[in-house]
Structure 1
Amino acid sequence: MLHKALLTYKYCAVRILIVMTTLLITLSSRAQTSFANADTTEIKPLQLDEVTINAPVTILSEQQWPGSIVHIDSLTIHAGNSFLLSQQLNNMPGVLMQQGALNTSRITIRGIGSRTPYNSNRIKAYWGDIPITDGDGVTSIEDIGFNDINSIRILKGPSSALYGAGLGGVVLIDPWHRTTRTSLTANSETGSYGTFSNQLSAAIKHNKGTTGITANHLTSDGYRDNSEYERFNITLKARYSLGTHILHYLYNYRYLNAHIPSSLDSIDFYNQPEKAADSWAAIEGYEKSQRQILNIGLSSGLGNRLSNSLNLFGITTGLDELRPFNRLDEKKRAIGIRNKLTYQTGRFRLTAGLEAMNEFNTIKLYGVKPTNEGQLLSENDIERRYINLFGLLDIDVTDKLIIQTGLNFNSTAYKNEDQSTGQESNHQYPATLSPRLGINYALTNTSNLFAAAGHGFSTPSVEEAQMPDGSFNASVKPEEGYHFDIGYRYESVNNKTKADLTVYWMKLNNLLVTKRESEEIFYGINAGETSHKGLEVSAWHQLLINTNNTIVFKGTFSGSINQFEDFTDDGVNYSQKHLPGIPEYTAHLSADYTLKHSHFHFNYQFFGQQYLNDSNSKTYTDHSVLNGKVSHRIQIAGLSGSLYLGINNIADNHYASMLLINAPSFGSKPPRYYYPAPPRNWYAGIIIQL
């Protein structure tokens, strides 16, 4: 009966999409007929003030977006060194990026994803129109080169049916730099701990569009033992105008060779923070990987009101990771399609489409101890496939009121074949419908009220859904929950003052937490119900002294209460305890001073106390970090560019840049909670453009 109900559920959703698509085509044909005989000057333009992120992806402007949104422009991205995004992301209220090493990080949005030990989960990320989130929800944005990022927008909460229904939110990375002429840009940087970063970007402008190539190479000895790092990226990208069509492609190759120092216990953290964990240092643990991404897309105008965006993409990844307990050999291949059909008229815009991906994953584990060194311990072939059907309707009810409704349908399935035993298991997660409703009302021409409510979910990752023996744990359920936020935005007429205040509440069921039996044995379990409540505030003001002398002040604050509502583990009741790994508050103050050809940037970041375990018996104290950068524009002959010098952790504070919550303790060894941040360190570079 349940199987039949699920099939009926899926077929209903497919019918909904077909009906919506048919409606769009019908409306388009009628519109073209009527437009042929109409005076187009009498057609009221859509008052949604659309902002283009890249050719095929559009959303409402930040002022009109019916939900919480933050924007990181190209100037903010380059406010620090040329390869770390954590400083910039941590300036955004509600967003936290912990950086344990150059190859170890975790991004959380409003506390969602804090339970994932070593990577980012529960959020969805797109690079252009390519989903760079794996089929099991794991996202890696830290190894995208800065010259492949024009800007970043973050939609917090399950806030847009267009991009699935991830619980934490969506990270939209725009790879398309605005090119008006043929140019060549080179950036060379050096810094503490033997760090060298070199970047090169070339753009060719022609009458049909633009073609570009970017490359960057990063090497570092690292602050800690066993933390050597090397990464190489190269990207080819182009956009061509073909009548009413725009053809674009993106190709990226990334090579990574990085050692792993891992986390430390409290004794080493405070007394020898530069050392690596003993077990990882003894085996010289590392990860070596290669990744290729290819996207080919076509955006088409199909009349005055109808447009379509079609994207085909493929991703291949190879990983060799040596750990104290085993050696991982993983190969991953994914192919997918994303299509979006939009009908737009004077009062509304209707979008319908689908995103589907098939991912094939081969995981081999080898022994590393003297008794089983090189021995194949297990081999599993895993296939993950999902399909998202989505629809989004923006209605310009009046000149001041915008209503947005959305619906996302998801179907996700796994197949796991154990090559050593020949056993095969198949699992279909329950089909999920995720609705969304958003409202934006313009109080005045400078201020807006907004509110949003929506449903989100996240399926378990491979590590969470796989038992230590390699079998698939079908009893682990996807996380799901509801999200509500209400807020106020202000932007002055002269655009020199901006402010944003948001209050949110999230209710989650089946929260996935990591169950650890040893350093090498861990898996996911569901943790009942949790609640997330918070306040986010940001303010921005530009003080214009004269045409060559300006100061920009920015401040953000976010405070939250995140609790287990109902969670019992091994007979211990953790209900009403605070979720670990989430600071009580984060705050940020920054100042940018421009004096003719020179620019000075300072930012001061504050992180509140956070718990290290579910019982709340262990805490990590609050801390702060001060960073600064000065740059000077130069002009030599036909070349232009800049020189810059930056210092991170100016006050030389000792703190943990990432925490491993619920770290296990076995035998006489204390738990290893801490990833130590580097002490005061510097970087300097030069940018040349012609």
Structure 2
Amino acid sequence: MHQRSILLISSLLLPLLFVAAQEPLPKGDDSTFLLNEVVVNAHQTNLRWHHLPGNISVLAGTEVQRGDGNSFASILHALPGIYMHSGTYATNRIVIRGMGSRTPYNTNRIKAYLNDIPITSSDGISSPEDIDLDGIGRIEIIKGPASALYGSGLGGNINLSTPAPLRSSFTARLQVGSFNTAKASAGGSYVRDDLKISGNVGHIRSDGFRENNRLRRTSLLSSGRLEKSAHTLEYTLLLLEMDAAIPSSIGKTLFETDPGAAAPNWKAIEGFKRYGRGVAGISLENRLGEGWVNRLTTFGRWTESYEKRPFNNLTDGTYGGGVRDRLSFHAERYDILVGLEWISDTYRWRVDREEAIINRNSETRYHLNFFTMIHLRPSPKWNISLGGAVNRIRYRLKDRFPDNGDQGGERTFPLTVSPRIGINYAPDSKVALYASVGHGFSMPSPEETLLPEGSINRGLKPEQGWQYEAGIRLNLLHGTTQIDATLYRIDLHNLIVTKRLTDEIFTGINAGRSRHRGIELLWRQQVFYRGHFPGSLNINSSCTFSQNRFVDFTDDGNIYDGNQLPGIPSHLFQTYFDWKPLEPLHLGVRFQYTGKQFINDANSVTADGYQLTDAKVGYLLPITTSGRVELHAGVNNATGTHYASMLTVNAVAAGNAEPRYYYPGAPRHFYIGTIWNF
């Protein structure tokens, strides 16, 4: 896919958005976010947050666009139990309740959805951070193996939604900052009668603060909805193109003396990754009768990628699609939902060195998931959910370079059953108690399913686990104080370990068991709210204390029983002050403390904890009765903290060189910008 294809589509979309500029914007904003009023759909049935039988985290409205609008990590860190390693714009790893911490360079063990469309690729990789935050209106996250409705995903689910427009509008942003970073975007919505269309086109470019660290990314995200009395038709379209240089990780000496340096071998060949992605889906929702609703979604997706690396070059991509259907019935005392999700994807990859092919393969995955959920409300105080899923998964490997013998074949995994039960007791609008027990699993990635010589690893089993959680929600002082506190424990078995044999060869092994325990706290406080100075002040804070240990783990004869899993902060704290002293003036300040992390399974190497401070000030100028302009400026890492924003756990040293564990975090950097709203 070429950049001009996105620009062509955007040229067709933007005239619609400009037409929308006729209608005035509403007065006020949604910076005050009262949790007890939030309706979530993560259990695929609309429930108020206060009555959910389990822990679900929600970000919506202005919370999604805080800061510079580019950092997905700072947004996710506002929620407890979630940590995002962010080495560069193109190299990230999301860890939820300790799951996925040992994956080398990307996110797996987590499933991601966009408007109910699966966007996790067939090789098990989720990259929700690819999507421009300007196009996202809502993020819902289910943590741990607690969802019976989304198939595999031990770490949980990240569900992204585009904004639901209430009126026609147009928005444009222009922002520049340190390291020659520039962002331009335009979007908006068109609303007329039963038709609602929204979209966003954005481009970001940056040279980065490190050598060989440039980024160029262009994206388009659009959605629409046509609603009639008996049915609703929706569409979603995502197109993305990225060209990112790769500075890679560095050893301790460079990290401490020259953090702006790239790894010498990556710098020497000017390593990079070029990446194109497309997702498209159509949903038809039919209201079949009193209480009955059926929602059918069909979708297709593809990716194309080329990565130039010091040791070889990787050309890979995926194409496929599927169907997701759910039938639900709503009554006063209960809800029933049944559905299925079928996905067929083909992942193909070719590895070459100096233009000589080393291997070439394709793997097709067929995944069928039947799921059901029942919500029982014997009284207004109780909500009991009973659910389960049955999954069938089959792989077919084709060896397209059989010079060393045909190593293709098929493997069908046994049926996997994942039950779930959750209970919520809310005696009044101030207090709610909840508990849940759920099972989940994660399938190995294509690299993990193959033995080092390239044949199918038939002995590898899916990773499975049980999660137990209990918590309390408090809604106090007339809705100005909301607290959500959760205790959890996750027991994993058949633990899949991505074993790195060399820089270029990985495989997977079942290495025993691990246990994840933690305490999560989310506190949102409206300190004061006045129509004059000092205006309004809101504080959002999150805390996570976790202990993630190997219970039974032996690797190459080394026994790691009792050791902490690497790549997981021992504790994480973030608080955000949202102060609006006067009607046009807005100030946001974020403080984050990240605790110590182990870097290897032996727990012999650690990364120190660190503190970060970000600040942003904005001023709103009404220019017409139907439009306004916001001027803003900000600073990230205001204290100039030296820290590692991402760790490559269990990095292998080449010869006498140091293991390259560290991705340095950006030093103090600034940005200024303007946003036009009509």
TM-score of the aligned structures, taking structure 1 as reference length: 0.90
Query: Does the CA-based 8 Å contact 1:350-1:392 persist in structure 2?
Result: yes
With over 3 angstroms needed to count, the CA separation of the structure-2 counterparts of 1:621 and 1:644, relative to structure 1, is same
Counterpart secondary structure, 1:302: strand
Within the candidate set 477, 486, 506, 2:490 is matched to 506
**What is the aligned partner in structure 1 of residue 336 from structure 2?**
350
* In 1, Cα distance between equivalents of 2:69 and 2:183: 7
Shift of 1:415: 0.7
Unmatched runs of 5 consecutive residues or more in structure 1? 1-47, 368-372
* In 2, Cα distance between equivalents of 1:254 and 1:316: 11
**What is the aligned partner in structure 1 of residue 281 from structure 2?**
295
* In 1, Cα distance between equivalents of 2:177 and 2:225: 35
Post-superposition Cα deviations, 1:391-450, rounded to whole Å, max 9, x if no partner, equal 000000211011001001111111111112244210112210000000000133211000
Within the candidate set 428, 433, 439, 1:455 is matched to 439
1:206 aligned onto 2:192:
yes
Query: Does the CA-based 8 Å contact 1:116-1:514 persist in structure 2?
Result: yes
* In 1, Cα distance between equivalents of 2:181 and 2:427: 51
**What is the aligned partner in structure 1 of residue 530 from structure 2?**
546
Within the candidate set 398, 402, 405, 2:379 is matched to 398
**What is the aligned partner in structure 2 of residue 7 from structure 1?**
none
Within the candidate set 225, 239, 245, 1:239 is matched to 225
Counting only pairs closer than 5 Å after superposition, residues 523-542 of structure 1 correspond to structure 2 as 523-542=507-526
Q: For structure 1, which segment, 230-239 or 265-274, has the greater mean C-alpha deviation from structure 2 after superposition?
A: 230-239
Shift of 1:220: 0.5
Counterpart secondary structure, 1:268: helix
**What is the aligned partner in structure 1 of residue 467 from structure 2?**
483
Query: Does the CA-based 8 Å contact 2:121-2:318 persist in structure 1?
Result: no
1:69 aligned onto 2:50:
no
Shift of 1:666: 2.4
1:255 aligned onto 2:255:
no
Shift of 1:338: 0.3
* In 2, Cα distance between equivalents of 1:50 and 1:348: 20
Letter in 2 for 1:477: K
Shift of 1:632: 1.1
1:653 aligned onto 2:637:
no
1:103 aligned onto 2:90:
yes
Post-superposition Cα deviations, 1:148-178, rounded to whole Å, max 9, x if no partner, equal 2001011112222222242111111111x23
Query: Does the CA-based 8 Å contact 2:586-2:617 persist in structure 1?
Result: yes
Letter in 1 for 2:160: I
* In 2, Cα distance between equivalents of 1:362 and 1:178: 36
Post-superposition Cα deviations, 1:183-225, rounded to whole Å, max 9, x if no partner, equal 2110111111011111110311111221233200011011111
**What is the aligned partner in structure 2 of residue 13 from structure 1?**
none
* In 2, Cα distance between equivalents of 1:53 and 1:529: 32
Post-superposition Cα deviations, 1:573-612, rounded to whole Å, max 9, x if no partner, equal 1111111111111111221111221111111111111111
* In 2, Cα distance between equivalents of 1:388 and 1:644: 46
* In 1, Cα distance between equivalents of 2:426 and 2:85: 36
Shift of 1:71: 1.1
Query: Does the CA-based 8 Å contact 2:135-2:199 persist in structure 1?
Result: no
Query: Does the CA-based 8 Å contact 2:50-2:426 persist in structure 1?
Result: no
* In 2, Cα distance between equivalents of 1:473 and 1:70: 37
Query: Does the CA-based 8 Å contact 1:591-1:602 persist in structure 2?
Result: yes
**What is the aligned partner in structure 2 of residue 672 from structure 1?**
660
Counterpart secondary structure, 1:547: coil
Counting only pairs closer than 5 Å after superposition, residues 82-97 of structure 1 correspond to structure 2 as 82-97=69-84
Counting only pairs closer than 5 Å after superposition, residues 637-648 of structure 1 correspond to structure 2 as 637=624, 638-648=626-636
**What is the aligned partner in structure 1 of residue 259 from structure 2?**
273
Query: Does the CA-based 8 Å contact 1:193-1:220 persist in structure 2?
Result: yes
Query: Does the CA-based 8 Å contact 2:165-2:198 persist in structure 1?
Result: no
Letter in 2 for 1:468: P
Query: Does the CA-based 8 Å contact 1:51-1:58 persist in structure 2?
Result: no
Post-superposition Cα deviations, 1:82-131, rounded to whole Å, max 9, x if no partner, equal 22110011121101011000000010111111011111111111111111
Within the candidate set 204, 211, 214, 1:225 is matched to 211
* In 2, Cα distance between equivalents of 1:541 and 1:524: 45
Within the candidate set 594, 606, 612, 2:580 is matched to 594
Query: Does the CA-based 8 Å contact 1:70-1:154 persist in structure 2?
Result: yes
**What is the aligned partner in structure 2 of residue 27 from structure 1?**
none
**What is the aligned partner in structure 2 of residue 571 from structure 1?**
557
**What is the aligned partner in structure 2 of residue 11 from structure 1?**
none
With over 3 angstroms needed to count, the CA separation of the structure-2 counterparts of 1:468 and 1:322, relative to structure 1, is farther
**What is the aligned partner in structure 2 of residue 492 from structure 1?**
476
Q: How many residues align?
A: 636
* In 2, Cα distance between equivalents of 1:98 and 1:572: 27
* In 2, Cα distance between equivalents of 1:580 and 1:568: 15
**What is the aligned partner in structure 2 of residue 305 from structure 1?**
291
Shift of 1:644: 0.8
Letter in 2 for 1:521: I
Unmatched runs of 5 consecutive residues or more in structure 2? 1-35
**What is the aligned partner in structure 1 of residue 359 from structure 2?**
378
Shift of 1:545: 4.3
With over 3 angstroms needed to count, the CA separation of the structure-2 counterparts of 1:388 and 1:50, relative to structure 1, is farther
With over 3 angstroms needed to count, the CA separation of the structure-2 counterparts of 1:675 and 1:301, relative to structure 1, is same
* In 2, Cα distance between equivalents of 1:280 and 1:474: 35
Within the candidate set 468, 492, 501, 1:517 is matched to 501
